[in-house]
Chains A and B, each alone.
Chain A
Amino acid sequence: MNAPTPPAIRHSAWNIWLNPIFRRYCQSRLRIRDLGITLLLTILVAGFLFAMATSFGARRSMDAVDAARNGIIPLLVLQALILFVLGTAQVAGGMTAERDEGVIDYQRLIPMSPLAKVMGYLFGLPVREYVLFLATMPLSIWCLWQGRVTWNIWLPIYGVLFSSTLLYHLTGLITGTVVRNRRWAFLTSIALVFSLYTVIPQMANFGLVFFKYLTITPVFTECLPGILPKTAGSALKAAQHLLPTVKFFNLDFSEAVFTLFSQSGLALTFVVMLCRKWRRQESHLLGKLWATGFFLWIQILLLGNAIPLIEPGSLFPSQGFAWMSRIVPDWAPAKSEAVLMSGIYGLVTLGLLWVLSGIITASGDHQLKGWRRVRKQGLSAMPTLADAATGFFFTATMAVAGALGWYWFTRALVESSWFPGHRAPWHILGVFLAVLLAAGLGFQALLERKGGRATGLAVILVGVFPLMAGAVLGMISERLYPIGAWLVGMSPLSMPFFAAATILSISELPATLARAVPRSFCFWLAVWCVSTPWLGWKLWEKRSTLAARCHPDAPNQPSIPPSKTKSAGPVRVTF
């Protein structure tokens, strides 16, 4: 203790080799005793796949190049499994274990920037999986070299494999940081990775092309001819000429560049979330401005990818089917397809709106704390961007932006050359606005006023149950379709579809639903349009009561001595 406290050194976030957290995990996760068996097993499996694939090629009298190419895909699958599944699970589980054991507080206190800590965990926790991946690489390199695969083929594949790995691991890191139970963190991260990168990308088949760029699939598909045996590769390459290139409004990109661009935006948002949590444990995952910006960014990407594909017809799911089966030479999209795609766009927008408004909405505890702090500082109002401030107006902004995007997409569909004579007048925008404002703000106001449990219950009772009940009624008898439609119409989840089916001129509802769907939609939209302002009013009342309760002069208020100088900490606003 005789020596003074050492001078401050800054750990660079980018110098990963010197990152203490990374080195700590290298120490603990790369012990020969533990690594040895896993490494042996991985090399064994990789060697088996390699030997099987190349022997199969030799047996089929393929030349050396084709035989070597046979081994590339099995090894890629193994490498993806190691990095995506094992790595992500390790990241999520390891992060939760840190908190479980209680040592995370030590890491919070070490003088490293939040970004340096995030980088340390991002590369440190899955370091064993990286080593296992590297252990399989000599076989892959041999296959690529012997298979004469050019650098412009393997570089994009491995580049996007790496960027997707980072994205998946960041997802795991966020889950591990947010979910408290170790087992739940593991399951949630796997479920989240599965839905984000397997289920949601399927939306690409229904017009939301952007989502497929969150996966390795587009780049892999583009490069596939180059890594397949020559004969199969040539055939696939000829077929690929029929596929569209990546378009973003009027710009053309390669699959790899656009995938990296899309993934980096999401990865950046994940890093911001993690840094916020490292900086202050209690803070929201995203600030209000960032959440709104992120929502706008997703809207722009969705529109930028989708709109250029409408006129060529590549956006319509039925064209993909017709192209593959080659059974419909005079293909044209069905009107119902466009209505469905508009509905899906609206639903995805609404879902994203709910997720982001959930992130920026302060819990009751946060609001109370925020008001006490504001009062202590002698302020009359909460700073707009503070976590404890209401998320109502930001949700409204996102809802308006979402409605504009939805309208733009729908208008491009309806007014395309595929549906001559049809128009999407401006009043449609009004209806879309009403749907997103009513459903989005209603959810947000309820969440902010009543908290997560009550909102969850409301989502089940009003959002999910009517859908299920309506579907069951529809299955019983065709005569029950109208009742089913009335029930389903109650759920905000059905509103985007009902809106598109009701107000678009291209909509062709079956006779059994032709009256029920528009009436149900109008009725329930009216109910929601009345309920949401009421919920908003009740929220305003609650916030006013809270603000008044925290006022120093309020009765039953614990005495808050007036600050002399700067006795109350400032309200910190982070973005």
Chain B
Amino acid sequence: MTTSDPLSGHTRSAIDIRCLRVDYGEFTAVDDFTLSVPQGEIFGLVGPNGAGKTSLFKVITSLMEPTYGEVLLDGVDVFEDTESVRRIIGYMPDLAPVPTDLRVWEFLDFHAAAYGLGSGAQRRSRVEECLAEVDLTPQRNSWCKALSRGQTQRAVLAKTMLHRPRVLILDEPASGLDPLARRDLRNALRALTRAGATVFVSSHILGELAEMCSSLCVMNCGQLLASGTADQVRHQLGNTGRTIVASLLGRHEEAVAWLTGQSWVHDPRMNGGHVLFGFDGGDDAQANLMESLIGNGFRLRAFEEKRSSFEEILVEVAETNRQT
């Protein structure tokens, strides 16, 4: 759900990062990073530990000044008009800390007051609304320090949503959440984007991120490696090939020998009761291959295409970078 600037006709970005660089002494955490996050999207940021994700988020949220570069949130320069920017963002840091001396509703009420969400009654109503959204109403009177990890994450998410931010920056929001809570988080984020907010989220649970996000980007060693939809990212990372698993009723060795001579096929091998091989051809070629396999008398029980998971791609990228 991107919006266009009626004057220029260009798509307006919720987050615009240009030539960003962050240094810690001699170490460069973010290096010449340029990225646009369209409005109304759930945009994922993927990268191994130390990739520079948290530094990037800290700069976007105005918590850290970069070495150089520019960050615009909804067209507002983060470092020129910091106070305005702080009104439109909601930030949930990694590990989601909470104050130990406040109850859940007090924690939220303090932030509601700080963001100027009206009178006491209005604030309380908004606090209850957010607590309900993250399913934390029963814990409203609990001490923040007594919450479980998942409940803490949800309390901080509620705090982040309080002032209805136009841009949400969530650093590892799903860590510590059980599957049910993750599903609820996913739904909550989708609801936010439906209402026009933009969510920029990082996670190590990559599969889930791919499922949740409309677009994502991959970052490693401070640099942007790829960005776009999940398929585009796969393509940019050079991982377009597929692995095929053929489950046969016997004659496995013969099948491997037969496959070795076929075009588009590489690296056929046996794996338990299956035959695995790489395949670089298109969908038609794959259908023809299945037909030929059956035509040659092989009794095929199943024929399954397996793509590399994001985890595998990232591990590969990280390993390659480490070696170089």
Contacts and interface: CB of A to CB of B under 8 A. Distances in A.
A23 B67 contact: no
Interface in B153-167: 159, 161, 163-166
A435 B197 CA distance: 63
A559 B192 CA distance: 39
A572 B79 CA distance: 9
A565 to B, nearest CB: 9
A281 B66 CA distance: 12
A3 interface: yes
A557 to B, nearest CB: 12
Contact of A568 (B24, B70, B114, B164): B70
Contact of B21 (A8, A365, A372): A372
29 contacts: A5-B88, A5-B164, A5-B166, A6-B163, A8-B83, A27-B106, A101-B100, A106-B91, A109-B61, A109-B63, A109-B86, A110-B111, A111-B87, A112-B114, A368-B23, A368-B25, A372-B21, A372-B67, A376-B19, A377-B68, A558-B31, A560-B19, A560-B32, A561-B19, A567-B19, A568-B19, A568-B69, A569-B66, A569-B68
A252 interface: no
A553 to B, nearest CB: 17
A74 interface: no
Interface in A340-382: 364-365, 368-369, 372-373, 376-377
Interface of B: 18-19, 21, 23-26, 28, 31-32, 61-70, 79, 83-84, 86-89, 91, 93, 95, 97-102, 106, 110-111, 113-118, 159, 161, 163-166, 191-192, 194-197
A258 B13 CA distance: 57
A231 interface: no
A10 B4 CA distance: 31
Interface string A539-575: 0000000000000000000111101001111101000
Interface in A266-282: 280-282
B63 A559 contact: no
A515 to B, nearest CB: 50
B159 A106 contact: yes
Given A2-B195, A6-B163, A365-B23, A559 B70 contact: no
A569 B161 contact: no
A364 to B, nearest CB: 7
Contacts of B26: 368
Interface string A97-116: 01001110110111111000
A9 interface: yes
Nearest to B194: A1
A11 interface: yes
A239 B249 CA distance: 114
Contacts of B191: 1
Contacts of A24: 102, 106, 110, 113
A364 B25 CA distance: 7
B163 A8 contact: no
B68 A6 contact: no
Interface string A1-35: 11111101101000000001101100111000000
A110 B65 contact: no
B106 to A, nearest CB: 6
A6 B86 CA distance: 12
A281 B63 contact: yes
A111 B91 CA distance: 13
B23 A106 contact: no
A11 B69 CA distance: 30
A570 B197 CA distance: 29
B67 A1 contact: no
B65 A282 contact: yes
Interface of A: 1-6, 8-9, 11, 20-21, 23-24, 27-29, 98, 101-103, 105-106, 108-113, 280-282, 364-365, 368-369, 372-373, 376-377, 558-561, 563, 566-570, 572
A111 B86 contact: yes
Contact of B19 (A27, A29, A102, A563): A563
A223 B108 CA distance: 48
Contact of B197 (A1, A21, A28, A106): A1
Contact of B68 (A103, A111, A372, A558): A372
A369 B23 contact: yes
A118 to B, nearest CB: 15
A8 B21 CA distance: 31
Contacts of A561: 19, 32
A105 B97 CA distance: 9
B24 A365 contact: yes
Contacts of A29: 101
A404 to B, nearest CB: 37
A24 B114 CA distance: 10
A284 to B, nearest CB: 13
B158 to A, nearest CB: 13
Nearest to A377: B68
A109 B165 contact: no
A20 B113 contact: yes
Given A111-B86, A563-B19, A365 B25 contact: yes
Given A8-B116, A373-B67, A569-B79, A109 B62 contact: yes
B196 A1 contact: yes
A570 B66 CA distance: 11
A409 B86 CA distance: 51
A559 B112 CA distance: 44
B102 A376 contact: no
Contacts of A113: 83
Contacts of B159: 106
A102 B164 contact: no
Nearest to A562: B19
A569 B70 contact: yes
B48 to A, nearest CB: 21
